[in-house]
Amino acid sequence: MNLQFAEEIIEGLSSTPKHLSSKWFYDKIGDDLFVKIMNMPEYYLTDAEYEIFSKQTSAILDEFEVNKSQLELYELGAGDGTKTIQLLKAMDPKNFTYHPIDISENALNQLQERLAKELPEVSVAPVQGEYFEVLESLSKNESKIILFLGSNLGNMHDDVAKQFIKQLAEQMQAGDKLLLGLDKMKSKAIILPAYNDKQGYTEAFNLNLLSRINSEFDADFNLAQFEHRPNYDEETGIASSALVSKCKQTVNIKSLDKTFEFEENESIQTEISRKYNLDILENVFAGSGLAIKKEFNDSRNYFMNVLLEKN
Ligand SMILES: C[S@@+](CC[C@H](N)C(=O)[O-])C[C@H]1O[C@@H](n2cnc3c(N)ncnc32)[C@H](O)[C@@H]1O
């Protein structure tokens, strides 16, 4: 049994409002669904960041100063690595080791297989685990570049993101760099469909969290009695997803020896996806010792990759 998942289920479903972390979306089924989401026209985030990585590759690598010394390239929440591979292809494999970090063992295995085929000369050292745990194990005394793409930072509330960036900066030495992929604030008409695709992949992705609990903890969530409900608030710039109970119901989780009551319309918060502007970012980076060195934007100005350097 995954003890951390078990503890978070008990804590999250006992709270008001109920919540579960989006990091538990990613098992084999969740990883495959996320790849489908990234290929949907509504999910503009991947296209926008892919465009930056494929059209501005040399400008990004110039900022990395990759040829100066041997460096360690870390990626937090690497997923399928499609965007990163654009950079890896243009780098000299003698100069770096790539360390993809992900909570999903399945995602890491698939990425490793893909790299062995497409870029066999790149040395790859995957680490399976939670960002925070892996961060603590990083050595300070190496030249490093850290990638955190796909607007994954936006899955954290600002106070958590601020603490996270501070912790990350503590593991970096002067001159080390952090490349963040961040989705920009814009109209609801563009953002909301990205979390509510017509094909229903995002809905299936959210509901898979309940299927996972059913199979891993012998629970009896009736998926037909929960509905995926996305929302985007233009004022705050926060997109959120919830699973809403369609009726009053009781759910048993046998392996945890727990029972949870749901009222009709009661929700389980599953994910936030914060959208950014420079003011919000300045608050998140304040006091971290990291300074913005360069910003890369896609042609539609939907997304940005921000390069930060440790002072
Ligand atoms: C939204 S996907 C993005 C993947 C990739 N960065 C991209 O931009 O295409 C998030 C990835 O981060 C991983 N992940 C999510 N939360 C995590 C956590 N707390 N610790 C480690 N990995 C995590 C997931 O397994 C998944 O592969």
Q: pLDDT for 199-244, tens place per residue?
A: 999 999 999 999 999 999 999 999 999 999 999 999 999 999 999 9
In three-state secondary structure terms, 181 is: strand
Backbone angles phi, psi at 300, to 5 degrees: -90, -5
Q: Domains along the chain?
A: 3-24+200-274 (no CATH), 44-186+276-310 (3.40.50.150)
Reported in sequence order, the residue ranges of the chain that DSSP labels E, i.e. its strands, are 18-19, 71-76, 96-102, 123-124, 127-128, 144-148, 177-183, 226-233, 238-245, 249-253, 258-262, 267-274, 290-297, 303-310
Which of 19-33, 65-79, 82-96 comes out lowest in average pLDDT?
65-79
Task: Answer whether residue 105 shows pLDDT above 90.
Answer: yes
Q: How far is the CA of 95 from the centre of ligand 1 (A)?
A: 26
Buried b (16+ CB within 10 A) or exposed e, 131-169: beebbeebeeeebbbbbbbbbbbbbbebeebbebbbebb
pLDDT value of residue 68: 66
Q: Compute the average pLDDT of residues 12-41.
A: 97
Closest CA to ligand 1's atom 27: 79
| pTM for this prediction | 0.96
Q: How far is the CA of 49 from the centre of ligand 1 (A)?
A: 15
Q: pLDDT for 48-85, tens place per residue?
A: 999 999 999 999 999 998 766 789 999 999 999 999 99
Q: pLDDT for 127-168, tens place per residue?
A: 999 988 887 888 878 899 999 999 999 999 999 999 999 999
Closest CA to ligand 1's atom 11: 77
Q: Compute the average pLDDT of residues 110-120.
A: 97
Position in ligand 1 atom list of the atom nearest CA 49? 8
pLDDT band at residue 45 under the 50/70/90 scheme: very high
Closest CA to ligand 1's atom 15: 23
Q: Compute the average pLDDT of residues 264-278.
A: 98
Task: Answer whether residue 246 shows pLDDT above 90.
Answer: yes
